[in-house]
Amino acid sequence: MEQLPSCDELPSIPGLPDPLVLRNGRRVATKEEWFSLRVPELRTLFQHYMYGYFPPPPETISSRILFEDACFLGGSATLKEVEIRFHPAAPCLRLLIGVPHKRQKDGCPVFVGPNFGGNHAEVPHPAVALPDVWMRSDIPGVVDHRATDAGRGKHPRFFFEKVIARGYAVATFYHGDLDPDKDDFTDGVHPHFAQRKERGPHDWGAIAAWAYGVMRAVDCLVTDPAVNPKRIAAVGHSRLGKTVLLAAAFDERISLVIPHQAGMGGSAPSRGTVGESVRQINDRFPHWFCGEFKRFNQHPEKLPFDQHCLVGLCAPRPVLFSNATEDTWANPAGQFDVLRAAVPVYELCGVSGIEAQKMPEPGTLISSRLGYFLRTGTHSMTPADWDAFLSFADRWL
């Protein structure tokens, strides 16, 4: 692990740091320098100070189809669930995939992302496996933190029928398969990748574990002949929006990313003064990030990056931020500023960034390569959000 300064040793940077300036103070001047110098530097910084270090990609990965139904949605699509194993002892990932029968010769584009309620809650299909791990009690059908058949089809967020009708495949997995969302690192994947008995300050947190799961889902999708491996979009809501943005920043096979209402730790600035703060998110969800991130609770201005740099790591790929008017906790205006601050990276890469100078009116999609959507309402992922996602993907995926 590279020796980097502690929080106390870092300089204060009140505004969003220049994404093109290296740690040594030199400014990258070309696209080649961005990818050879700044990208690896930023990936190290984000892991060291915020998300924790990913384990390396698995040497081997295996999968098996748990079930396959070619009569899904009245025979217009195939639904299948695939068990993915990437470690001999770690929990497996179950990926639920819906693919339209009407598709292009080179395979259909696909939306992939983690879900909150379990695969069984996305569609009311009796063959979809129930999660066998801890679940949040506010998910429909969960009893004593365990899934039951009563939850089948009761918590849809990926809206299989709508997305498939537009010609896209859908792939989703329960994020708790990788790491149940509670402050406990003795379950999920963490103990199987641990380098020591006690957790260190730079060990990966839950968001990195879920992002690792997104990458493993991509491993599966790029081998599926029904899917076009060059047209993979990652989408997630809230904490899972943070997850997919992190995954896209570290996995260039993701062609487009939509972190929906991802807020602090995702698409909102750590230096923001509206909505959730670094201290508040670390106090409430101490397991999401690495221990080192807590050192910035009172001094987010000492972070050597902000979330526009994470967006920059996705360049030149399209990124859509989407929000709701009443979700001020996620700081929608600050997220717009993050997109604007990533524009110099996109321009250095030879493409345009965001076309708008100010936030759109509710219901309006800014469909530039760095896109933005705002609807009326609260913190949720709705069919109206998916209408914007699909329109953005129609242009860019």
Average pLDDT of 125-138?
Answer: 97
Alpha helices in the chain (DSSP H): 31-33, 39-46, 72-75, 160-165, 190-193, 206-221, 239-250, 278-284, 307-312, 332-348, 383-396
Catalytic residue among 101, 379, 380, 391: 379
Residue range of the domain that includes 273: 62-396
The answer on pLDDT for 279 being more than 80 is: yes
Residue 62 designated active-site = no
Q: Which two tokens stand for residue 126?
A: 């009796």
17 assigned to some structural domain: no
345 assigned to some structural domain: yes
The answer on pLDDT for 2 being more than 80 is: no
Please state the domain count of the chain.
1
254 assigned to some structural domain: yes
173 assigned to some structural domain: yes
* Burial class for 331, CB neighbours closer than 10 Å (0-12, 13-18, 19+): buried
What percentage of the chain has pLDDT greater than the value 70?
Answer: 100
Residue 137 designated active-site = no
44 assigned to some structural domain: no
Q: Express each pLDDT in 196-213 by its tens digit.
A: 888 999 999 999 999 999
The answer on pLDDT for 1 being more than 80 is: no
Of 195 and 179, more confident:
179
Average pLDDT of 47-62?
Answer: 97
Cα–Cα distance measured from residue 357 to residue 47, given in angstroms and rounded to the nearest whole number:
31
253 assigned to some structural domain: yes
The model carries a pTM of 0.98
Of 73-77, 89-93, 117-121, 191-195, the least confident = 191-195
The answer on pLDDT for 105 being more than 90 is: no
Q: Express each pLDDT in 350-373 by its tens digit.
A: 999 998 999 999 999 999 999 999
The reported pLDDT for the residue numbered 188 is 93
Catalytic residue among 125, 175, 238, 267: 238
Q: Express each pLDDT in 57-70 by its tens digit.
A: 999 999 999 999 99
The reported pLDDT for the residue numbered 103 is 82
CATH of the domain at 153: 3.40.50.1820
349 assigned to some structural domain: yes
The reported pLDDT for the residue numbered 269 is 99
37 assigned to some structural domain: no
